[in-house]
Structure 1
Amino acid sequence: MRRNRMRLTGAIALGAAVALGAAACGSGDSGGGKDLTIAYIGVQTGDNSPELGINISNGVKLAIDQYNATNPKKKVKFKIYDTKGDPAVAPGQVQKAIDDDVTAVVGPVFSGESKATVPSLEEAEIPNISPSATSTALGKNGWKFWHRLISNDDAQGQVDGDFIVKTLGAKKVFVIDDNQEYSVGLADKVFSAVQAQGVTPQRDKIDPKATDYSSTVNKVKAFKPDAIFFGGYYNGGDKLLKQLRDGQVTAKFVSDDGALDQKLIDGAGTKQAEGALVSCACQSINPTAENPAVAKFINDYKAAFHKDQGTYSAEGYDATNAILAAFKAGKTTTKDVNDYLKTVNFQGVSKPVKFEANGEIQVKTIYMFQVVDGKLKFLGDAAKVKPE
């Protein structure tokens, strides 16, 4: 259903004329007089890992600023819609973006808000690319305007489970999640992956807004695991890691892309976080020399925002450049942009950018990072590396 739906409130002839005028500048026309607007929809403030969202929106802004600096025939506008990472807040922000007639969306950022809002973007026929929402279920909805630039939880959870059992050699595994859409799905996959390899895991949940995790810590201590997997974000994961280590739990601590941030270390404490392992379908925190564009991106990002790029900055940048490629090719309506995204194929700074028919990214590699001397160190392909 097109988003420029008119209510005929006056005389029938006048209403028809208004509707015809709206159609002339709507999402299905040639785009001659229509603004080109890329929206970022995701967390910017609040308690739900705002730093991850800021990383992404900065990547989006950088790509748009670089594009506009080339003096194209029509410059691209950028709008931010802050969901606070809350599935209850996100629908209102998405509706604002729809009402503002944006051309394309980078986001939503988290899985829960994606589940709550992508149906509205689908109905409005607005192409959207999530740089970070990993819930496997998102790719099974038959959505036509949805894409994501990151592997799903099944891919990451399977690799994490294999890593815990095969690489770390864990015989006993304790799986914990923070009871959010993304976290539960990933933890479920890790649980089943280690279970399939003959390990009988234990399971518990935490509230990321709580401050005392002694109940969970005591369960872990009683079980005496070799490894702990935490499905969740750095806010919550930091407190859990600190309390586990302060409680003399020395089991290997493994987490996911939601925890891949310096704030995990800052919150847990350098000593308590040392040796923690974090997986991600991203690698640009510590880029290789194989792609000179990566080094340029990192330098440009730091020059623009006076800080280092972080988790998903590169994915936000690549998602935006996929949309900008459509604009460069003369695709200016939402439908034409979406059709172009089905064929896009280029080497991004985060990974090769090519989408499968259902909107999933084609590349599925999962990478591993480890906290070494108070910093996140890139180890490489999780299927091949050995932790320090």
Structure 2
Amino acid sequence: MSRARLIRALALAATASLALSACAGGSSGGGGSTSAGGGDAPSSVKIGFMGDLTGGDSNIVIPPSLGAKMAIDEYNATNPKTKIELVKYDSQAKTEQATALVQKAITSDKIVGLIGPAFSGESKAVGAILDQAKIPSVSPSATNAGLAKNGWKYWHRVVANDADQGPKIVDFLISAKSPKSAFVLSDDQEYSVGLADAMEQELKAKGITEQRDKFAKDAPDYSSTVNKVKAANPDIIVFGGYYSQAGRLLKQLRDGGVKGTFATGDGSLDIQLVTGAGTAAAEGAVVGCPCLIPFEGTTGPLKDWADKYKKAAGADPAIYSTEGYDAATAFINAIKGGNTTGEKINEFLKTLSFEGVSKPIKFKDNGEPETNSIFVYQVVGGKIKILGPSDKAKLQG
């Protein structure tokens, strides 16, 4: 080979090598952007947050979304090798909307993990899709017990389920009121029916005489149900559902002359329970929740966290604020460890263990949290106040 031909061949080889190198480094894979330093770690990845952010029950979902944002903002401020972009998906608690959004999140946005979905119905609708796409999810608030029984390998939550919550609410009422009769109510939503089922089973197990009724969540009024409850004259009324329905239901029950103690679950832990029912009608209502909301008088690390949250979010901590922060932290810890694809993050979550704000965070093989705690709240003087853990709480009034 002549000297001129040799020089030309070497030049072509060098050009080809540079082209191949550029192709190899141009995409990080798994939803990440190009690596800033040319290494294996992408400069950023996308984590989604899905839930009802503008719909009728958004007050349950906005606090955990703000908690998640706070955690991710704190992490990004440390200037890590791989930053996290939080992408919000407003399902408005509609299963068909959640399904469309999760497809976009996977195929177009290329998320590597999802905080949520926030509610049980949308979680049931998209769980299999996320599993097939190998995208891990951690819900801060979906409590339907059946979600853990679908065999999903990429699903997790940081809250106790309704099979824990429902019986603990009932047991608290039995201890506080010694009821002889009860009426179990729900609307037709996935979460509502599941929680009501759990409460009904515990009432039967404890030998309490009970009746059951269900109404459509969008019914213009609940007069048929109110009439049934009034005729039964129960000592306690337990409702599985969200505050949108609970407030109206409680108002109509009291207007109808029903006097039994009213109790409900985490979906109604919002001041709109009081505004929806009216202060007088809501007085004394009991609300259970697998969540600990930092409250007035809180001290120590939880008080420090609450102060930071208020500064970051511009609001006091509310339902599932701490759980949203902990769900985001689970992903942050995975990414800190160099896990930037859905599959690697999911493998990391199997070994995850850290002291969260809400509780110690560790997952069972089926995605359930290792630690389950139920707290009881009560409407007193027009405000919702914490009474304490369900096994230690004392009813006021």
Letter in structure 2 aligned against 1:193: E
- The TM-score with structure 2 as length reference comes to 0.88
Letter in structure 2 aligned against 1:250: K
Any residues of structure 2 matched to 1:12-23 within 5 Å, and which?
none
Kindly name which structure, 1 or 2, has the bigger radius of gyration based on alpha carbons. Answer: 2
Cα deviations by residue, 1:195-236 (Å, 9 ceiling, x for unpaired): 111112111112332342121111111000000001000001
Match of 1:207 among 212, 216, 228: 216
Letter in structure 2 aligned against 1:57: S
Cα deviations by residue, 1:1-58 (Å, 9 ceiling, x for unpaired): xxxxxxxxxxxxxxxx9xx9799633399963363111101111223x0111111211
DSSP-derived class of the 2:354 partner: strand
Instruction: Give 1:165's aligned residue.
Output: 174
Structure 1 consecutive aligned stretches of length 4 or more whose deviation exceeds 6 Å: 20-24
Matched-pair contact (CA < 8 Å) for 2:41–2:81: no
Taking a change above 3 Å as real, the CA distance of residues 70 and 226 of structure 1, as seen in their structure-2 partners, is same
Taking a change above 3 Å as real, the CA distance of residues 53 and 31 of structure 1, as seen in their structure-2 partners, is farther
Answer yes or no: is 1:328 the counterpart of 2:331. Answer: no
Answer yes or no: is 1:143 the counterpart of 2:155. Answer: no
Letter in structure 2 aligned against 1:168: K
In the alignment, the residues of structure 2 paired with residue 272 and residue 367 of structure 1 have an alpha-carbon distance, to the nearest angstrom, of 22
Answer yes or no: is 1:25 the counterpart of 2:28. Answer: yes
| Greater mean alpha carbon deviation, residues 278-287 or residues 348-357 | 278-287
Any residues of structure 2 matched to 1:289-328 within 5 Å, and which?
289=298, 292-328=300-336
Letter in structure 2 aligned against 1:240: L
In the alignment, the residues of structure 2 paired with residue 317 and residue 72 of structure 1 have an alpha-carbon distance, to the nearest angstrom, of 18
Instruction: Give 1:249's aligned residue.
Output: 258
Answer yes or no: is 1:114 the counterpart of 2:117. Answer: no
DSSP-derived class of the 1:208 partner: coil
Match of 1:80 among 88, 91, 109: 88
Letter in structure 2 aligned against 1:163: F
- The TM-score with structure 1 as length reference comes to 0.90
Matched-pair contact (CA < 8 Å) for 1:28–1:335: no
In the alignment, the residues of structure 2 paired with residue 31 and residue 140 of structure 1 have an alpha-carbon distance, to the nearest angstrom, of 37
1:331 is displaced (CA, Å) by 1.7
Taking a change above 3 Å as real, the CA distance of residues 176 and 365 of structure 1, as seen in their structure-2 partners, is same
In the alignment, the residues of structure 1 paired with residue 125 and residue 213 of structure 2 have an alpha-carbon distance, to the nearest angstrom, of 26
Any residues of structure 2 matched to 1:37-76 within 5 Å, and which?
37-47=46-56, 49-76=57-84
Instruction: Give 2:358's aligned residue.
Output: 350
1:164 is displaced (CA, Å) by 2.6
| Greater mean alpha carbon deviation, residues 351-360 or residues 165-174 | 165-174
1:305 is displaced (CA, Å) by 2.4
Taking a change above 3 Å as real, the CA distance of residues 309 and 250 of structure 1, as seen in their structure-2 partners, is same
Cα deviations by residue, 1:210-263 (Å, 9 ceiling, x for unpaired): 342121111111000000001000001000111111222111000000000111
| Greater mean alpha carbon deviation, residues 99-108 or residues 295-304 | 295-304
1:96 is displaced (CA, Å) by 1.0
In the alignment, the residues of structure 1 paired with residue 50 and residue 31 of structure 2 have an alpha-carbon distance, to the nearest angstrom, of 22
Letter in structure 2 aligned against 1:63: A
Answer yes or no: is 1:187 the counterpart of 2:202. Answer: no
Letter in structure 1 aligned against 2:135: I
Instruction: Give 2:381's aligned residue.
Output: 373
DSSP-derived class of the 2:171 partner: helix
1:385 is displaced (CA, Å) by 1.7
1:295 is displaced (CA, Å) by 1.5
In the alignment, the residues of structure 1 paired with residue 40 and residue 215 of structure 2 have an alpha-carbon distance, to the nearest angstrom, of 49
Letter in structure 2 aligned against 1:349: V
Cα deviations by residue, 1:62-120 (Å, 9 ceiling, x for unpaired): 11111111121222111001111011211001111102111211001111111110111
Residue ranges of structure 1 left out of the alignment (5+ in a row): 1-16
In the alignment, the residues of structure 1 paired with residue 291 and residue 40 of structure 2 have an alpha-carbon distance, to the nearest angstrom, of 35
Matched-pair contact (CA < 8 Å) for 2:223–2:252: yes
Match of 1:98 among 106, 114, 117: 106
Letter in structure 2 aligned against 1:315: E
1:369 is displaced (CA, Å) by 0.4
1:185 is displaced (CA, Å) by 1.0
Taking a change above 3 Å as real, the CA distance of residues 264 and 124 of structure 1, as seen in their structure-2 partners, is same
Residue ranges of structure 2 left out of the alignment (5+ in a row): 1-19, 33-38
In the alignment, the residues of structure 2 paired with residue 386 and residue 275 of structure 1 have an alpha-carbon distance, to the nearest angstrom, of 12
In the alignment, the residues of structure 2 paired with residue 34 and residue 177 of structure 1 have an alpha-carbon distance, to the nearest angstrom, of 47
In the alignment, the residues of structure 2 paired with residue 257 and residue 23 of structure 1 have an alpha-carbon distance, to the nearest angstrom, of 46
Identity value in percent = 47
Letter in structure 1 aligned against 2:357: V
